[in-house]
Amino acid sequence: MLNRSILGITCLGIAIASCSSPTVSTVPPVPEAVAASPQGFRQTTVLTGLARPWSMAWLPDSTMLITEKTGQLRVVRNGKLDPNAIAGVPEVMSTGQGALMDVSIHPRFAQNRLIYLTYSHGTPDSNRTRLARATFDGKALRDLKVIFEVTQAKSGGQHFGSRIVWLPDNTMLVAIGDGGNPPVELEGDLIRKQAQNLRSRLGKIVRLNDDGSIPRDNPFATNPNADSAIWSYGHRNIQGLTFDSNTKRVWSTEHGASGGDELNLVEAGKNYGWPIVTYSQEYFGGEISQERSRPGFVSPKTYWTPATAPSGLTFYTGDRFPAWRGNLFAGGLVSQDVRRIELDQAGNVKSQQSIKIGQRVRDVRQGPDGLLYVLTDASNGRLIRLEPTGS
Ligand SMILES: [Ca+2]
Compute how many other C-beta atoms are within 10 angstroms of the C-beta atom of residue 368.
12
**Per-residue confidence at 18, pLDDT binned at 50, 70, 90?**
very low
User: Mean pLDDT, the chain, as a whole number?
Assistant: 92
Q: What is the pLDDT of residue 390?
A: 72
Active site residues: 159
Is the previous residue joined to 368 through a cis bond, with omega within 30 degrees of 0?
A: no
Tens digit of each residue's pLDDT (9 = 90 or more) over 205-219: 999 999 999 999 999
343-358 average pLDDT score:
96
CA of 358 to the centre of ligand 1 (A): 28
pTM: 0.92
59-77 average pLDDT score:
97
Which residue type occupies 166? W
**Per-residue confidence at 374, pLDDT binned at 50, 70, 90?**
very high
CA of 231 to the centre of ligand 1 (A): 15
pLDDT at 20 over 60: no
pLDDT at 323 over 90: yes
Q: What is the pLDDT of residue 38?
A: 86
CA of 235 to the centre of ligand 1 (A): 6
Asked if residues 251 and 315 have their Cβ atoms less than 8 Å apart, the reply is yes
CB contact set of 286 (below 8 Å; sequence gap of 6+): none
% of the chain at pLDDT higher than 90: 90
pLDDT at 305 over 50: yes
Q: In what order do the strands lie in the sheet with 261-266?
A: 238-244, 249-254, 261-266, 302-304
CA of 25 to the centre of ligand 1 (A): 11
Based on C-alpha coordinates, what's the Rg of the chain? 20
**Per-residue confidence at 28, pLDDT binned at 50, 70, 90?**
low
What is the distance between the alpha carbons of residues 182 and 282, in angstroms, rounded to a whole number?
Answer: 9
Q: What is the pLDDT of residue 42?
A: 96
**Per-residue confidence at 29, pLDDT binned at 50, 70, 90?**
low
Asked if residues 75 and 137 have their Cβ atoms less than 8 Å apart, the reply is no
CA of 203 to the centre of ligand 1 (A): 11
What's the CATH architecture for 31-388?
6 Propeller (2.120)
Q: What is the pLDDT of residue 254?
A: 98
For 5, list phi and psi in degrees, rounded to 5: -65, -40
CA distances from 389 to 43, 242, 320 (A): 10, 26, 10
**Per-residue confidence at 37, pLDDT binned at 50, 70, 90?**
confident
Q: What is the pLDDT of residue 35?
A: 83
Q: What is the pLDDT of residue 391?
A: 54
**Per-residue confidence at 30, pLDDT binned at 50, 70, 90?**
low
Tens digit of each residue's pLDDT (9 = 90 or more) over 77-120: 999 999 999 999 999 999 999 999 999 999 999 999 999 999 99
Tens digit of each residue's pLDDT (9 = 90 or more) over 133-144: 999 999 999 999
For 110, list phi and psi in degrees, rounded to 5: -60, -30
Tens digit of each residue's pLDDT (9 = 90 or more) over 180-198: 999 999 999 999 999 999 9
**Per-residue confidence at 312, pLDDT binned at 50, 70, 90?**
very high
CA of 10 to the centre of ligand 1 (A): 22
CA of 273 to the centre of ligand 1 (A): 5
Q: What is the pLDDT of residue 15?
A: 33
Q: What is the pLDDT of residue 206?
A: 99
CA of 150 to the centre of ligand 1 (A): 21
Q: What is the pLDDT of residue 27?
A: 53
CA of 262 to the centre of ligand 1 (A): 7
Window from 1-10, 21-30, 118-127, 240-249 with minimum mean pLDDT: 1-10
277-306 average pLDDT score:
96
% of the chain at pLDDT higher than 70: 92
Among 276, 265, 271, 197, CA closest to 231: 271
CA distances from 240 to 84, 120, 138, 311, 364 (A): 28, 17, 27, 5, 9
**Choice between 263 and 15, residue whose per-residue pLDDT is larger:** 263
